[in-house]
Structure 1
Amino acid sequence: MDLDIVDLSRLQFAITALYHFLFVPLTLGLSVLIAIMETVYVMTGRTIWRDMTKFWGILFGINFAMGVATGVVMEFQFGMNWSYYSHYVGDIFGAPLAIEGLMAFFLEATFVGLFFFGWDRMTKVQHLTATWLVALGSNFSALWILIANGWMQNPVGAAFNPQTMRMEVTDFFAVLTNPVAQAKFVHTVSAGYVTASLFVLGVSAWYLLKGRHVPLAKRSMTVAASFGLAASLSVVVLGDESGYQSSEHQKMKLAAIEAMWETEPPPASFTAFGFPDREARETHYAVHIPWVMGLIGTRSLTQEIPGINQLVDDAEGYIRDGIDAYDALQAIRAAKTDAEIPAEARQRFEDKGARMGYALLLMRYVDDPRHATDEQIRQAAMDSVPPVGPLFWTFRIMVGLGVFFVLLTATFFVLSARHRLDAHPWLLKVAVWSIPLPWIAVECGWIVAEVGRQPWVIEGVLPTAMAVSNLGAGTLLLTIAGFVLIYTVLFVIEMKLMLKAIRKGPPHVSEPHLSFYQPMIDKLARTR
């Protein structure tokens, strides 16, 4: 297997995924925020809330369109660049994606049209229902996609079929209720809510600094600060749940995030700072916070978290079991009928078949895993360690930004409660300059989730190096350049449209204090 092809295929998917994920969080959060704003409008009848809904809805629509344009391409990549992956696990992975298209995307796309064009054709309650269905569709879309992704992190409810040489569903309910998928869903959606809240907060703060659309800006900031504070706190809590799930199902990822080379006595400490050294297998200048990692990873004071070196030793044993399972599989495949399958081979595969994926790590070094040397087995075991440095730092950037978001939204929540949102211009400037930070945090989260799974495309089942299509390097380089060019153009268009809409402001703002005089103003306009 040409590893350059693997790296290029990974690079292409990473680029398209990172671009696409620029639009997803804002779509998730804004859809709920505009639904909240319209709910207030329907309950109070104050037209300024309708104007708020329309204004933020315009920005939502621009972002939604770009998200669709960049997201459709990703699903086609599974067939183009990852054909063996699609063949191997398509029966399982394809089902949530198909349901996402039928249940969520069509729901969202249908009611998005009603949201934009139904203001004068529907009653208030009917339009509000359409708005909430847009929000529901957006979040349902994230649910099904993350069920598929969660299965890649923790492949439950499926088994390998020696006859078809594919993974097949054995319990679809287990796939749906996968604890890793559920933790990823709530954590990702909450991160989207934070992203949208800080976006609304920052844009509204800019309006206050400019003295424009002040009533709309203050109300928007109040909603964003309240919603953002709740979402920021939930991200922290749900991030703890994700850490706990990693300690249960992805021990190597958790050890790499912590740069924990040796197993520590429980409860393990949290490394707040340090410089991981993969060659020396140690973390230089490490600053530890006692007990914290043990509480996050195990929720106990007595359970240990295995270190990278211990997990590499465990992986070596798994590879040897996998070789035995691979040998039994060849015996099963050689039999012409079920009756001819040796009972001993069948039993060996039943006992050790779950480890066969580890034997496939050897395909990087040898065509037949059964012919691997001890040195090759040891090297394959070392390959089970993901990139420690990138994981260590991206996780800490994400966590640090998460703490900042809690403090920022809490500050503006207090200011809104005291009706002093514009009392401190320097805080408004901080809010404006903080607009890009949630995107940095969510991209870091994506890197932690996906890079932390390496070298697996399906954890413990299928190595990434075996999942790619048989493509040439030239083809991949050409498509990478094409995607970068097209997506960059789309991103520039998105930014120009968003900035233009923000600078222009709401097309019509209904000031509450003018509502009493509006009939007289209309009558005067008619006489002229």
Structure 2
Amino acid sequence: MIIDPDVVTLSRLQFALTALYHFLFVPLTLGLIWILAIMESVYVMTRREVWKRMTQFWGVLFGINFAMGVATGITMEFQFGMNWAYYAHYVGDVFGTPLAIEGLMAFFLEGTLIGVFFMGWTRISPVKHLLVTWFLALATSLSALWILVANAWMQNPVGSAFNPETMRMEVTSFAEVFFNPVAQAKFVHTVSAGYVLGSMFVLSISAWYLLRGRNVDFAKRSMTVAASFGLAAALSVVVLGDESGYAVSENQKMKMAAIEAMWETEPAPASFTVFGIPDVKNRTTHYALQVPWVMGLIGTRSIDKPIPGINNLVEDTKGKIDNGIRAYDAMLVLREDKHNAQAKEILAAHDKDLGYALLLKHFVEDPRKATPEDIQKAADSTIPNVPVLFWSFRIMVACGFYFIALFGYSFWLSSRRRLDRNRWYLKLALWSLPLPWVAAELGWIVAEYGRQPWAIEGILPTSLGVSSVTTGQVWTSLGGFVLFYTALAVVDAVLMLKFARKGPDGLGIWPVVERDPSLRPALED
């Protein structure tokens, strides 16, 4: 049976919307908790009350964001059973393992520690409370680690194999799944992006206070921490992003070619296209402005290895589809006769290409009856949306270099104690608040949209992973998610703005220093 393409499209849309919305909160949680840990560490070392109160105020905003992240994250995992039932059945043994570990090892740990963080200020000693904060920071990173291990397996399915007896993917080496090079690259890159976002959050809101001449001591100290941490994080993102690019070129060559809009294989080392207009219809890129060697050095770490172009990869895919058809035929023989030695031998020789035969199910019910035209369509379907990837990647990279410049200038101003002297800089810092979210969301678009048409790269096409549902049912659930998440967005925005505008003094966290200057020496001591 050929899957209804509308069901596939709507299911993809629903998961994409919920994932992108959830990722509005994840990176802020990852970054802000480490800033809290730094501030509280200064408090414990110096015993200066100002740092404790800074930790408490930013902790309130962290708590709101954390609650929203939990509320939006739980529903995502249930979607695997609701909209992606066959995906869950086919690869659940592998994909479900890191998700289960994340729930047991990190999610419950975070939930416990955050309660102690908020309720323990007067119940445990400062040193013990600091340990709780640091463990909470580690727990949030640990939670992200296991999620990214699962996601990385979708990009590079190592440590697993197809079992013809169960007709499912099964784990062969959990160590390979965990130490997947894509997982390690994605983890360090993602958490570093979260550190940038958390730093920009603190920097921008503090700039807003300075523009209004309120909470000046609080804002300047907060900006100093954000500038230092943000600069280190922004530099890390660029360096670690290079590692992610290398991992993509090694394991997802079509994604790399699409990011570069590279239609033909170029002589090594390949150039980096700074600007261009991808033309999908004619398979060319107009007005390309290129920098020699850069892409080859990033993608291959060499000067003599080429990066395959899209057209060359499509031709290679046609050969994999032919091999996959042989594996598919052998798989069907084994379903009838599990002891057929010849079928086992054929499947063992071509099982890595079985997924390419499954691409044909989008065009023909039985892949063995596919025509050359069907094979060509299946091979062409492996080309992701080139313009979207091309521009998403470049905007993301541009944001990354902008963050380095902004945090670098902020650090320089902080070292000269001039953070509150330049109003144009404070306005720039305030207006920059949305940019880390833009960069983070574009990063996930590049990672996930660039993997299409695969749910599991080279293993399971997205069109085969959906549940047996109707378009009406998916429309209903999609509409419900949109309404529910819109309501959550309104609540989150109202709460964040309310508490940010009140500030630490309005929440009773900060002494009213500006009203009574005599309190300033006591506060700073």
Same-fold status (TM-score > 0.5): yes
The CA deviation string for residues 465-492 of structure 1, in whole angstroms up to 9 with x for no partner, is: 0000011111111111111111011011
Cα distance in 1 for residues equivalent to 2:196 and 2:490: 23
Give the one of 175, 196, 199 matched to 1:197.
199
2:174 equivalent to 1:160:
no
Describe how 1:75-154 pairs up with structure 2 within 5 A. Answer: 75-154=77-156
For 1:215, the equivalent position in structure 2 comes to 217
Q: Distance in 2 between matches of 1:513 and 1:315?
A: 75
**Aligned residues of 1:108 and 1:136 also touching (Cα < 8 A):** no
For the pair 1:474 / 2:475, whether they are aligned, the reply is no
Identity %: 64
**Per-residue deviation, 1:508:** 2.8
Q: 1:83–1:467: 8 Å Cα contact kept in structure 2?
A: yes
Decide whether the 8 Å contact of 2:57 with 2:509 is kept in 1: no
| Equivalent residue runs for 1:181-260 within 5 Å | 181-260=183-262
Give the superposition deviation at 1:344.
2.2
- Partner of 1:505, secondary structure, is helix
Q: Secondary structure of the equivalent of 2:382?
A: coil
Establish whether residue 170 from structure 1 lines up as the match of residue 175 from structure 2: no
Structure 2 CA distance for aligned equivalents of residues 436 and 188 of structure 1: 17
From 396, 421, 424, the equivalent of 2:422 is 424
SS in structure 1 opposite 2:69?
helix
Conserved 8 A contact 1:153-1:458 = yes
Task: Quote the offset at 1:63 in angstroms.
Answer: 0.3
Tell me, which stretches of 5 or more residues in structure 1 are unaligned?
519-528
Alignment partner of 1:440 is 2:438? yes
Per the TM alignment, residue 333 of structure 1 is displaced from its structure 2 partner at its CA by 1.5
Cα deviation code 1:87-138 (max 9, x no counterpart) = 0000010110010011101111101000001100000011111111111111
Aligned-partner SS, 1:164 = coil
Q: State the Cα distance separating 1:366 from its structure 2 match.
A: 1.0
Q: 1:316 aligns with which of 315, 318, 324?
A: 318
Partner letter of residue 375 of structure 1? E
User: 1:305-332: per-residue Cα shift (whole Å, max 9, x none)?
Assistant: 0000000000000000000111111122
- Pairing of 1:282-301 with structure 2 (within 5 A): 282-301=284-303
Q: What whole-Å deviation, never above 9, does each CA across 1:262-306 have from its counterpart, x for those lacking one?
A: 000001001111111111000111111111100110111111000
Aligned equivalents of 2:151, 2:114: Cα separation in 1: 26
Find the aligned partners of 1:16 and 1:114 in 2 and give their Cα distance.
Answer: 30
Partner of 1:264: 266
Q: Which amino acid in 2 is paired with 1:60?
A: F
Q: Report the count of equivalent residues.
A: 514
Alpha-carbon distance between aligned partners in 2 of 1:411 and 1:293, rounded to the nearest angstrom: 29
Alignment of 1:360-375 (within 5 A): 360-375=358-373
Given residue 235 of structure 2, which amino acid in structure 1 is its aligned partner? L
CA displacement at 1:14 relative to structure 2 = 0.4
In 1: Cα distance, 2:154 partner to 2:521 partner: 59
Q: 1 CA distance for matches of 2:278 and 2:401?
A: 23
Residue 70 of structure 1 is matched in structure 2 by: 72
Residue number in structure 1 paired with 2:277: 275
The alpha-carbon distance between structure 1 residues 367 and 517, as it changes in their structure 2 partners (threshold 3 A), is closer
The answer as to whether partners of 1:158 and 1:167 remain within 8 angstroms in 2 is yes
Residue 517 of structure 1 and its aligned partner are, at CA, apart by 5.3
Q: For the structure 1 residues 237 and 513, does the alpha-carbon distance in structure 2 shift closer, same or farther, using more than 3 Å as the test?
A: farther
Query: What SS class does the counterpart of residue 453 from structure 1 fall into?
Result: coil
TM-score (norm 2): 0.97
Matched, 1:12 2:14: yes
Secondary structure at the aligned position of 1:163 is classed as coil
Q: What secondary structure sits across from 2:161 in the alignment?
A: strand
* Alignment partner of 1:508 is 2:509: yes
C-alpha distance in 2 between matches for 1:231 and 1:397: 18
Indicate the SS of the match to 1:416. Answer: helix
Note if contact 1:107-1:133 (Cα within 8 Å) is conserved in structure 2.
no
